[in-house]
Amino acid sequence: MEILAFGVQADEKPLIEHAFRDHQEVRCLDVFLNEDTAPIAAGYEIVSTSVNAQLGARVLETLAAGGTRLVAQRSTGFNNIDLHAAERLGMTVARVSFYSPYAVAEFAWTLALAVNRRIVRASTRTRDFDFRLDGLMGRDLHGRTAGVLGTGKIGEAFARIAHGFGMRLLGWDIAENPACMELGMTYVHKDQLLAESDLVSLHVPLMPQTQHLIDADALKAMKDDAILVNSSRGGLVDTAALVTELREGRFTGVGLDVYESEAGLFFLDKSLEAIEDDILARLVTFPNVLVTSHQAYYTEDALRQIVGTTVRNVLDYKAGRRSENVLVPRS
């Protein structure tokens, strides 16, 4: 039984092939799973997908018609999968429920520090042998307030780093994390967190309830000189509203590793094409905005955990076992 893995990055391929080596054959493709590429999976009982796969009802129907019975997604998020359609089609769906929270938390801090200290602008200048400091002034984060929206494993890791900087901690979540409270975090209403935080970082999953969690009203509630970081899911931020606020000269910096319309863009080389997404094209022109292409998870440590869990999900499926990673069980 050969596995077909979609959306495999060059750095990821040897890890996947090595992990499956003692279990079964795996065919790695760099193309992403969508309506156009789904027919490639005909004859494969097991398909592994990446976070940017488009697994709506039509794609799942194509996979099911071709004989696919297991979709093993190599990510924690699964908002790209129509779980009701998968259940209707009798397909099993599994994900990676946990991997290194430090990978994402550390990258969120990388974005925060980069925009605060104008690292990208400074690097560009020095490459041109321009060593002026004009426009590069940042701020000490020590003594300032970090607001953490979502205090699960990644939010907790982010808060621990903030605590190390000597920052005051505010948190917002449906449940309080005792470990965060031990760090001195105070849980408050979202509006208070936004109004008092110098740095706001998002670490909540994307669900209907959190779609545009940071909307026009939330952005207006933030300090004019605040820093906003999103390394979770693009749909948490109303990007059009964010562009409006940026045009008003607000915010010290914005660091985005995700974008609500990133499907079909992120992980691909679009350098020789005209970008039709006017919002993204406008967003990247602001000097205080840093956009990266969903790479927060992309460390060797995290990838090894992701691939290892994917192997276990496949072995569990073959053995008829069910784990906490299964979103839709075998019918």
d(CA 92, CA 83): 9
Considering 233, 250, 260, 312, which one is annotated as catalytic? Answer: 233
Question: Which residue reads 């391929």 in tokens?
Answer: 13
Question: Which residue reads 């505010």 in tokens?
Answer: 170
Handedness of CA 111, 114, 118, 122 (dihedral sign): negative
The yes-or-no answer on residue 276 being catalytic is: no
Per the document, the length of the chain is 331
The token pair at 305 is 């955990």
- Phi then psi for residue 303, to 5 deg, are -65, -40
Q: Per-residue DSSP letters for 261-322?
A: T-TTTTTS--TTS----HHHHHHTTSTTEEE--S-TT-SHHHHHHHHHHHHHHHHHHHHT--
Contacts of 249 (CB under 8 A, 6+ apart): none
Considering 118, 203, 294, 312, which one is annotated as catalytic? Answer: 294
Say how many Å lie between the first and final Cα of the chain, rounded.
Answer: 20
Give the single-character DSSP code of 287.
T
Of 23, 26, 28, 27, nearest to 11 (Cα)?
A: 28
The token pair at 169 is 């901690």
- Phi then psi for residue 81, to 5 deg, are -115, 130
d(CA 298, CA 236): 20
Whether the Cβ atoms of residue 158 and residue 147 lie closer than 8 Å to each other? no
The token pair at 84 is 């009701």
The yes-or-no answer on residue 262 being catalytic is: yes
Considering 12, 156, 245, 262, which one is annotated as catalytic? Answer: 262
Whether the Cβ atoms of residue 158 and residue 199 lie closer than 8 Å to each other? no
- Phi then psi for residue 199, to 5 deg, are -135, 125
The yes-or-no answer on residue 294 being catalytic is: yes
Active site residues: 233, 262, 294
